[in-house]
Chains A and B, each alone.
Chain A
Amino acid sequence: MKEISGSAMVCEALKAEKVKVIFGYPGGAALNIYDEIYSQTYFKHILVRHEQAAVHAADAYARMSSEVGVAIVTSGPGFTNTITGLATAYSDSIPLVLISAQVANSLIGTDAFQEIDAVGISRPCVKHNYLVKNIQELPRILKEAFYIATSGRKGPVHVDIPKDVTAALGIWDYPKEISMKTYKPNYKGHAKQIKKFVELLKEAKRPLLYLGGGCVASNASEELRELVKMTKIPAVETLMALGTLRSDDELNLKMAGMHGSYAANMALSECDLLISIGARFDDRITGKTSEFAKRAKIVHIDIDPSSISKIINAHFPIVGDVKVVVSQILDELKQEKIQIQTEEWLESLKRYQNLYPLSYDDSDEVLKPQWVIEECSRLAPDARIITDVGQHQMWVAQFYPFNFPRQLATSGGQGAMGYSLPAALGAKLAVGEKEVVINFVGDGSVLMNIQELMTAYEYGIVVINIVLNNAFLGMVRQWQSMFYNEHFSQTDLSKQADFVKIAEGFGCAGFNVTTKDEFRKAFKEALNAKQTTLLNVAIDRFEDVLPMVPAGGAIYNMILPKLKDKK
């Protein structure tokens, strides 16, 4: 067999894994790898302008395409800049592989230039990581990295490769299949537990599906829609699950939790059988845990056994992949042909939906962020949506009608500001020219990775950035208004940059928007533009995200909007 260099192995592995786009930033220790990238034709390399952006872009690429995302960076600071990206992907179980260069083996431990203990730093932020000590183990490690990232509960895997290993020659024996003694994820649900679950369904009077990110990760939307249709069991979705069911499905009670709908939170509080599917009982969903679904038996379906009974004790755990387990349940239900009497339950939920639907007071004097979001969905239905973190993120979750899985990419678990601009670029590369990608971002968060407008310009990646600008770090401001005597400590951003000039400076087009007409006009221009656009939209400075459950409170105690004219 022919010997090839470690750098060539990296490229060959990416080819074998059918990777089409990678995101990265070169540097001293990565020079050998980048020399190999220069001459290969297997994949496209996107030069981002900050390593954090490389990982966020790869992350959104994975979220939109359901394929693995890949990023490559150099040692030291190149690597440390990726940590926020890794943590974001880890919290949301996003499959990606980060390859970082490291100083040569002979220099490791000497505090060499751009040396840092990379695997030591990434360890708590990744599903697994490797320091490649010699060329012989590189093919196996690369294979394992892709296998671990994309199997079981998915997640980021980090491979740190010293410079001498990237130069060394070795035999390229990339394994086609892999079997690891210590890692064997389980996909199929226990048959007995499935039968037991169906028995439980028969007795339930107020059953509720609680759908989480695992529904998206395992591509189980079709099966779940069938389950809802067949059983007439209502469902709530977490932020990470939005789009699993259609937003206009009557049985979809919308998002639950801190900023969830009244009906969703009341359903969680009053159900007698809670069927958690690929969700992990995050504190933003449960509120006060002792009050959460306290009348319900809990069924918990999850591929990760450590998620089960971590926060809320599960009476009926089913370990397995959501898609596989839900298919098993459907098979069982088709045989049993059970009737679940949910009419009464659905009626009371309907009352909750009508009592406090998600709504807001619109205005013609000042733009309301909710109107902007709804208008986008009217002018560009079924767009792919990216959000950053904060008030705008929650408004999008509440008011954009998500109708298919992987329509939304957002930093859920970590809530990492700066996510959305690089993520929008990764998303656009994943979905292609025909689909519209809209990035909703705040005037705070857009500045955290604004340099990626340059990447958009260089590669002609066309996305629409909508800055919902309230000249505040809005979510923190909202808490300061509600719980900190309106002490707007370090949250007033009224000193503003000229966003239009910034956009233009990066070769993109910018628009200032203050009225509905201006918005419609600018958005239509953006839809037709052949370049990335940024709409700086001045919104009501003091609009709050409501409903809201105060942190640590029971989710049935919600602060509800006091509307002037009820829609």
Chain B
Amino acid sequence: MRRVLSVIVLNEHGVLSRIVGLFSGRGYNIDSLTVAPLVGEEFSRINIVTSGDERVFEQIVKQLHKLIPTYKVIESGEFIEKEMALVKIPLSENLGGLDAVLKAYNGTIANSNENFLFLMVADDAMRIDNFLKTIKKYNPCDIVRGGSVLMEIK
């Protein structure tokens, strides 16, 4: 089962490798991972998408707590979850209908040059999945997903 969680950690040397090492060492999955410092604080926020049954997830949360630089593990409650995707489409493709697709997903054309269009979409991960399925017919030559960023609703 897909799970999301955020870890607030001291922004110090080696902290990310502690988190990543915990996952790899104990055989947990990381489906996506995003990291950035919290504004004006000594902490960083690490957003992790993982999978596992309830018991595994409970262990992941406890093990994350156990790391010395971990300040907080946010795992319950609802999140706003957004992920970004960039898509490169050859201009030579038939681009009919692209506008409507972009509109449906609040996407934009981020850039273009003589050969390609660069599309940008930010949405929840499942809708990004759908967007990428839809966009397949334009034969994208590159797709980059950014990993989920999370914010708790409360």
A residues engaging B (CB < 8 A)?
119-120, 123-124, 127-128, 131, 133, 148, 180-183, 304-306, 309-310
Contact = CB atoms under 8 A, between A and B. Distances in A.
A306 B21 contact: no
Nearest to B10: A182
> Taking each of A131, A180, A183, which has the highest tally of chain B beta carbons within 10 Å of its own beta carbon?
A183
B62 interface: yes
Nearest to A310: B59
B68 A306 contact: no
25 contacts: A119-B14, A123-B14, A123-B17, A123-B21, A124-B21, A124-B25, A127-B68, A131-B13, A148-B68, A181-B10, A181-B71, A182-B9, A182-B10, A182-B69, A183-B68, A304-B66, A305-B65, A305-B66, A306-B62, A306-B63, A306-B65, A306-B66, A309-B58, A310-B59, A310-B62
B22 to A, nearest CB: 8
Interface of B: 9-10, 13-14, 17-18, 21, 25, 55, 58-59, 62-63, 65-66, 68-71
> Taking each of A127, A148, A304, A305, which has the highest tally of chain B beta carbons within 10 Å of its own beta carbon?
A305
A131 B13 CA distance: 8
Sorted nearest first, the 5 A-B pairs with minimum C-beta distance are A306-B62, A128-B68, A182-B71, A183-B68, A306-B66
A183 B66 CA distance: 8
A453 B118 CA distance: 71
Nearest to A132: B13
B59 A306 contact: yes
Given A180-B68, A183-B68, 7 more contacts: A120-B17, A131-B14, A148-B68, A181-B71, A306-B63, A306-B66, A310-B62
A304 B13 CA distance: 25
Contacts of B17: 120, 123
Chain A, interface SS category: mixed
Contacts of A148: 68
Contact of A123 (B9, B10, B18): B18
Contacts, number: 38
A306 B17 CA distance: 20
A90 to B, nearest CB: 12
Contacts of A124: 21, 25
Nearest to B61: A306
A119 B58 CA distance: 27
A97 to B, nearest CB: 14
B60 to A, nearest CB: 10
A148 B9 CA distance: 17
A464 B65 CA distance: 44
A305 B62 contact: yes
Contacts of A120: 14, 17
Contacts of B69: 182
A181 B68 CA distance: 10
A450 to B, nearest CB: 32
B92 to A, nearest CB: 45
Nearest to B59: A310
Contacts of A183: 68
Contacts of B62: 305-306, 310
Nearest to B66: A306
A563 to B, nearest CB: 43
Contacts of B66: 304-306
A119 to B, nearest CB: 6
A427 B126 CA distance: 59
Nearest to A133: B13
A123 B24 CA distance: 12
A148 B58 CA distance: 24
Contacts of A305: 62, 65-66
Nearest to B64: A306
A180 B21 CA distance: 23
A304 B66 CA distance: 8
A382 to B, nearest CB: 37
B113 to A, nearest CB: 37
A259 B66 CA distance: 32
Nearest to B13: A131
B70 A182 contact: yes
B47 to A, nearest CB: 18
B149 to A, nearest CB: 22
A152 to B, nearest CB: 9
A298 to B, nearest CB: 15
A376 B17 CA distance: 49
A296 B106 CA distance: 56
Contacts of B9: 182
Contacts of A309: 55, 58
